């Protein structure tokens, strides 16, 4: 279980993440959606302390994540990023073995784990293990990136737009693979994306971030996201929906920002993920 309590991150005067609290149940997938600059990546990076919060506490299974040094914490948490971030000077097998090597596993255990993960991801360990990342296709690189994040059997996996660089067909396949693997290992996954469709498809719960604030946190099927009449949410809000879910959004600029010539109060700020296909509600 991951408990995020009153987390705030400020850089000088700008507040990137503003007093966010949420609880992520074990063995579930929580998806954080939001436009760029909404603070979703910063929130994710504060869980494994790549970014240190200005205020607030994050607890992993009841323990404050500041109770161990940052690098030790990060070895126990899987981390997969957009564009995979594989080490170009290391082979696929060495890449996957990164965290187990840091943890000092013995050789046989590392090899067994690397083979297991590669087989799981339909990469023949004999053929692909000794190759370098640039010799793989984009989809294969992404799979290796996720396999590396899962190598040390972490309970928690953080993913920052892991499928962002993939074309739609491979992307769907990668999502299915991830769901299957999550079922198999029971990993708690927090996934950041700006793709609402992906969020609804993957998430047990969806968190919507906007301008640093957590606007909504609910199951995709719960009334808050799917069927509540859009006149009901807080004044000045509106939302967009697809066949399988909706998000709310401030109809005007978020209340913290004063209306100006550039953003008149009447302007409607639609999130990009509402897209052309999204129906809009007011």
Partner 1 sequence: MKAWLPALLRLALVVLLVAFLTNPGWFEPLLKPLTENNAPVIYNQGSLLTLTVLHLRTVLLATVAATIVAVALAILVTRPAGAEFLPLSRSLVNIGQTFPPVAVLALAVPAVGFGEKPTLIALFLYGLLPIFENTLTGLTTLPANVVEAARGAGMTGWQRLLKVELPLSAPIILGGIRLSVVIGLATATIGSTVAAKTLGEVIIAGLLSNNLAFILQGGLIVAALAVLIYDGLSAIERYTARRMGSEAE
Residues binding partner 1 (CB under 8 A)? 48, 50, 71-76, 79, 81-89, 98-99, 102, 132-135, 145, 148, 158
Residue 137 beta carbon to partner 1: minimum distance, rounded to whole angstroms: 13
Dihedral pair phi/psi, residue 16, rounded to 5°: -90, -40
Q: Which is nearer to partner 1, 104 or 229 (CB)?
A: 104
Beta strand 237-242 with 245-250 is: antiparallel
In whole angstroms, the minimum distance from the beta carbon of 228 to partner 1 comes to 37
Q: Which is nearer to partner 1, 141 or 248 (CB)?
A: 141
> Minimal distance in Å, beta carbon 133 to partner 1?
7
- Residue 171 CB, nearest approach to partner 1 (Å): 18
CB-CB contact of 53 with 215 (8 Å): no
Least separation, in Å, of the C-beta of 268 and partner 1?
A: 34
Of 41, 49, 38, 45, the closest CA to residue 15 belongs to 38
Shortest Å distance, C-beta 72 to partner 1: 7
Report d(CA 169, CA 142) in Å as an integer.
Answer: 14
Pick 191 or 196: Cβ nearer partner 1? 191
Q: Which residue stretches of the chain are H helix?
A: 40-47, 70-75, 92-96, 98-103, 107-120, 125-128, 138-150, 168-185, 196-202
Which one, 42 or 248, has the nearer CB to partner 1? 42
Q: Compare residues 41 and 182 and give the one whose CB is closer to partner 1.
A: 41
Nearest to 247 by CA among 222, 265, 264, 267: 222
DSSP label at 251? S
Beta carbon nearer to partner 1, 165 or 170: 165
Closer of 39 and 154 to partner 1 (Cβ): 154
Residue 106 and residue 58: Cα distance in Å, rounded? 32
Report, in Å, the least distance between residue 24 CB and partner 1: 18
C-alpha to C-alpha distance for 65 and 73, rounded to whole angstroms: 7
How far apart are alpha carbons 24 and 72 in whole angstroms? 22
Question: What are the C-alpha distances in Å from 232 to residues 112, 259, 281?
Answer: 55, 23, 11
């Amino acid at each position: 279980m991951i408990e995020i309590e009153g987390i705030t991150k400020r850089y000088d005067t700008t507040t990137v993440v503003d007093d966010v609290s949420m609880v992520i149940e074990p063995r579930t997938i929580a998806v954080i959606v939001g436009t760029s600059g909404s603070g979703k990546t910063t929130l994710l990076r504060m869980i494994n302390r790549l970014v240190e919060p200005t205020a607030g506490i994050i607890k992993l299974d009841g323990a404050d994540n500041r109770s161990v040094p940052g690098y030790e914490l990060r070895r126990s948490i899987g981390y997969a990023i957009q564009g995979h971030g594989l080490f170009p000077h290391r082979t696929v097998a060495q890449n996957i073995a990164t965290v187990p090597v840091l943890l000092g596993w013995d050789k046989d255990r590392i090899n067994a784990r690397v083979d297991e993960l590669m087989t799981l991801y339909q990469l023949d360990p004999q053929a692909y293990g000794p190759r370098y990342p640039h010799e793989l296709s984009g989809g294969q690189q992404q799979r290796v990136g996720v396999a590396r994040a899962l190598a040390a059997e972490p309970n928690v996996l953080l993913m920052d737009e892991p499928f962002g660089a993939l074309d739609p067909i491979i992307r769907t396949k990668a999502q299915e693979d991830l769901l299957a693997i999550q079922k198999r290992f029971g990993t708690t996954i927090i996934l950041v994306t700006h793709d609402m469709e992906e969020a609804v498809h993957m998430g047990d719960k969806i968190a919507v971030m906007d301008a640093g604030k957590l606007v909504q946190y609910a199951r995709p099927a719960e009334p808050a996201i799917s069927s509540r009449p859009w006149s009901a949410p807080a004044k000045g809000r509106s939302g967009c929906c697809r066949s399988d879910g909706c998000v709310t959004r401030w109809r005007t600029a978020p209340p913290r920002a004063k209306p100006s010539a550039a953003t008149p109060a009447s302007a409607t700020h639609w999130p990009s993920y509402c897209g052309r296909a999204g129906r809009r509600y007011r």
